Every structure is written in structure tokens, then in C-alpha cells.
């Protein structure tokens, strides 16, 4: 029996975690990001913590929703769903806590600009 690639070993470890070690590691990365944003302000620490957070939670979501696909697809689909979920929860926070109007307006402006840009890009590709 050959050894599994590192990617499969990591995925199996995260998915089969019975004592919630990786869940607590994910919580710890959130704490590290919070502390880094408030005091340390190190891009390296933030990057490492964010990558670990996205990797763990991407594996969680990918495995939960598409077990029969390849490991790469599960990870990418899980990360995509994580981004969507983060956006949805962020939207709920904006609606629930009634954040200030200028920042909400800026977010809406940026999203509208991106949507318009993507629409133009696709429209130009499909033009004869």
C-alpha cells in the first residue's frame, strides 16, 4: 500500500477529526487575525493565518458538499463557498447592525463597478 500524497493526508486529517482539533485551530486563526489587526499589524502573520483558515474551512465545506469529486475540486469549491458564505454573513452584519452609510455606500459602489466591468468583459468576448 503506497503512501497518500500530502494533500490527501491533510484532507483526511481535517475531515476525520473527531476531537475538533482543526475546528479549534480554525478558531485560533480567527483569534490570530483579530490580534494581528488590532496590535501586531504584520502582513506575514495575517497571510499565514488567513491561508490556514481558508484551507481548513475550504476542506470542511468541499468535503461536506461534494465528496465524490477530486480533492482539488473539493478544495476549490469549498473555498469558493467559503467566500460566498463570508460575503453573506458580512451582508447580514451590515443589515443587522446598521453600519454607517458612507462605508455601505462605498461597498455598494465597488460591487456595482465590478458587476459592470464583468458585464462589459463578457459582452466584449461574446461580440462577433
pLDDT higher at 71 or 104: 71
Cβ atoms < 10 Å from Cβ of 104:
13
Name, of 10-14, 25-29, 45-49, 86-90, the range with top average pLDDT: 45-49
Residue extents of the structural domains in the chain: 6-94, 98-128
- 27-49 burial, b if ≥16 CB within 10 A, otherwise e? eebeebbeebeeeeeeeeeeeeb
Residue 39 near residue 32, CB atoms below 8 Å: no
pLDDT higher at 107 or 15: 15
Amino acid at each position: 500500500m503506497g503512501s497518500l500524497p500530502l494533500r490527501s493526508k491533510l484532507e483526511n486529517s481535517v475531515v476525520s477529526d473527531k476531537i475538533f482539533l482543526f475546528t479549534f485551530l480554525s478558531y485560533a486563526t480567527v483569534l490570530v487575525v483579530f490580534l494581528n489587526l488590532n496590535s501586531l499589524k504584520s502582513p506575514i502573520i495575517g497571510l499565514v493565518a488567513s491561508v490556514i483558515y481558508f484551507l481548513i474551512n475550504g476542506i470542511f465545506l468541499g468535503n461536506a458538499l461534494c465528496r465524490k469529486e477530486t480533492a482539488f475540486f473539493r478544495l476549490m469549491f469549498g473555498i469558493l463557498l467559503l467566500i460566498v458564505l463570508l460575503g453573506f454573513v458580512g451582508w447580514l452584519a451590515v443589515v443587522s447592525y446598521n453600519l454607517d452609510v458612507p462605508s455601505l455606500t462605498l461597498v455598494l459602489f465597488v460591487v456595482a463597478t465590478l458587476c459592470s466591468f464583468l458585464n462589459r468583459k463578457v459582452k466584449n468576448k461574446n461580440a462577433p
